[in-house]
Structure 1
Amino acid sequence: MLKSRNYDFLIVGAGLFGSVFAHEATARGKRCLVIDRRNHIGGNVYTENIHGINVHKYGAHIFHTSNRNVWSYINQFAEFNNFINSPIAVYGNEIYNMPFNMNTFSKMWGVRTPAEARAKIAEQIEELGITNPANLEEQALSLVGHDVYEKLIKGYTEKQWGRDCRDLPAFIIKRLPLRFTYDNNYFNDKFQGIPVGGYTPIIAKLLKGCEVLLNTDYFDFITANPKISNKIVYTGMIDEYFNFCLGHLQYRSVRFETEELDVDNYQGNAVFNYTAREVPFTRIIEHKHFEFGTQPTTVISREYPLEWKPGIEPYYPINDEQNGKLYVEYAKLAQNEKGVIFGGRLGQYKYYDMDKVIEAALCVVKQEFKE
């Protein structure tokens, strides 16, 4: 039962963008109704507690930012630990550190110094003689040479995209960061960590004072309640909002296989990437390591990329040239949609890290309230 028949904002999606906006609007005295078609708050940052382990149900979410204002903002709602993302890559029986750094190069070639590693990569690039890369494969080879590409990029990328690297455009990989230091810290950002207790409590605090309806489809709801709010904040798929009138934007999705194991430590690290094409999943996440857990059991998730189709969850916009042009046309429709604000990864068809989602939501708040 709704508490009101007229809200200042109907916020579609209880993920990070919608929740930040709802929090800020509520703090300014606005009445907010938040709806979500899932049975829980949090969107893709939702974490579920399984026997004391906070499981990232929709993939690993590691908070990192160099924006001090965003870091200060999110720390109002949680204490963060000092987790550093240092993924491991598995290629056959070989194990490499990520990101590509001196530990990676030393294991791959037996080199010890940055000069030796640079010379090895330069030698391979020169042998290939690629001057005008025609596709992603040639682009990657021209940046890192064939050893790093074949073992750590090719198979993983093809699984992620569901396409051969030679069929992907070169501009997808504009650069590949090579670090000539013995440093396995994946992110260069000044601030990073995992919220103690997971992400769901953060969302719950952000939504305090808002009315929340779960298991609620926007299109059914707005048909039944056409004048429920003065404005709408829409964080769903922008093409779906317009009933796909210009065609479907493309997404990649992920299927998760999560299981609890009767061991205290399965792989010794939070993230293992499986880079060989013949391994069907891209990575295994062991969730307890995000919070340095000591529980007697563990929970792991295998991630299987797949092509998005209606009825499954869209995760990653495919930001190639074709989809970019189509999104521009949808964005024009959005600009003319009075009383509707489009935000978030799906509403703006853009891959956002969490800090950028918060930054974007706060920017919209300033624009909306003319601050």
Structure 2
Amino acid sequence: MAKYDYLIVGAGLFGAVFAYEAGKRGKSCLVIDKRPHIAGNIYTEQVEGINVHKYGAHIFHTSDKKIWEYVNQFAEFNNYINSPVASYKDELYNLPFNMNTFSKMWGIKKPSEAKAIIEKQIADLNIGEPKNLEEQALKLAGTDVYEKLVKGYTEKQWGRPCTELPAFIIKRLPLRFIYDNNYFNDRFQGIPMGGYTQIIEKMLEGAEVKTDTDYFDFIKENPDIADKTVYTGMIDEFFGFQYGPLEYRSVRFETEVLDEENYQGNAVVNYTHRDVPYTRIIEHKHFEFGKQPKTVISREYSAEWKPGVEPYYPVNNDKNNALYEKYKELAETRKDVIFGGRLGQYKYYDMDKVIAAALECVEAEF
């Protein structure tokens, strides 16, 4: 006899939303996670009175009013606006690429001047159909923006030269010809006051939760624990890598407490030069406008995924997408398992899209 209606593998956002909605419908859920805590990659923990984003910066943004209202039932959000700064050698630039960026780069003031410079640089390159990411980026933004703000950062993020990356990774580079440092175009944006972990705690209140629990070990010992499984881990691992492993990128963090009030003056500073080994530094207190006497910073290093390391996001190139389709066909034969989230659906999701996908899944299920 199954003890639960659902075994939910992964206590991140997708699994927690499903558990919350299933619980509202009278279903019993057991949620397991191999990490020692809930909340997956949006886990925040307090250090020196500061909510530290343990697995990298998570800024909630959406244009979907229903999703915004949904998440606001679990926490109150502040009015944080993501306005990252890019550091290239001794130069600092505002992101996204906007008139503040162009004014600093070329000493100009008017949008028409910035457009003329970019258009001339693109024309001088005379690139036909872009064959790789480098050519695609140059054709979209010209030489200066590419060399200073795209090339080094992208090569660190993907672990390979831009000439070896497919053009489709950069389908567009948003160039704004206004003085606006708001990174996202979404209507709703903010950070939950008190961190993200509280949101997942509230979602999981009606479920039984086990952390430090590996699914594959657990299911061997408890094969009939639930009628159905919601699986948010790596889809290729679920099927024993039988078609070979999918590729993922991982991120490594070096976090330290500094005995100063304000280290870099901004929550996010990207390091766009190839010679700086990390991609960015996060100063966590600025997400919630903190005034604590100390500060906590995290350096982020992008890395290739390998077994035993946490996978962060899929490498959605043609080769991997074709391989995923084979796993997806296998998944469709398992009517007792729902695959969800970034790893279960091999798809890069922002937080609002994860919630929307989980709610769609719930609608289909009930």
Classify the TM-score, shorter chain. Answer: over 0.9
| CA deviation vs aligned residue, 1:143-190 (integer Å, no higher than 9, x gap) | 100000000000000000000000011111111000000000000000
- Residue identity matched to 2:177: F
| CA deviation vs aligned residue, 1:56-97 (integer Å, no higher than 9, x gap) | 000000000000000000000000000000000000000000
Q: Distance in 2 between matches of 1:161 and 1:132?
A: 22
Contact map agreement 2:134 2:151 (CA 8 A) in 1:
yes
Q: Distance in 2 between matches of 1:172 and 1:58?
A: 23
Q: Distance in 2 between matches of 1:52 and 1:80?
A: 18
Structure 2 match to 1:361: 358
**Secondary structure at 2:251 match in 1:** strand
- Residue identity matched to 1:236: G
Which one of 302, 315, 318 corresponds to residue 315 of structure 2? 318
Structure 1 match to 2:229: 232
Structure 2 match to 1:43: 40
Q: TM-score by structure 1 length?
A: 0.98
- Residue identity matched to 1:218: Y
Structure 2 match to 1:308: 305
Please say if 1:140 is aligned against 2:146.
no
**Secondary structure at 1:330 match in 2:** helix
Q: Unpaired runs of 5+ in structure 1? A: none
Runs of 4+ in structure 1 over 6 Å off: none
**1:51 Cα deviation from its structure 2 partner:** 1.6
Q: Distance in 2 between matches of 1:149 and 1:6?
A: 56
Which one of 341, 345, 348 corresponds to residue 348 of structure 1? 345
Please say if 1:215 is aligned against 2:225.
no
Q: Distance in 2 between matches of 1:126 and 1:5?
A: 66
Please say if 1:9 is aligned against 2:6.
yes
Structure 2 match to 1:164: 161
- Residue identity matched to 1:248: P
Q: Unpaired runs of 5+ in structure 2? A: none
Contact map agreement 2:61 2:189 (CA 8 A) in 1:
yes
**Secondary structure at 1:301 match in 2:** strand
Structure 1 match to 2:126: 129
Structure 2 match to 1:254: 251
Counting matched residue pairs gives: 366
Q: Distance in 1 between matches of 2:14 and 2:351?
A: 9
Contact map agreement 2:246 2:320 (CA 8 A) in 1:
yes
Map 1:144-223; keep pairs closer than 5 Å: 144-223=141-220
**1:5 Cα deviation from its structure 2 partner:** 5.5
Q: Distance in 2 between matches of 1:346 and 1:254?
A: 15
Structure 1 match to 2:333: 336
Contact map agreement 2:2 2:227 (CA 8 A) in 1:
no
**1:338 Cα deviation from its structure 2 partner:** 1.9
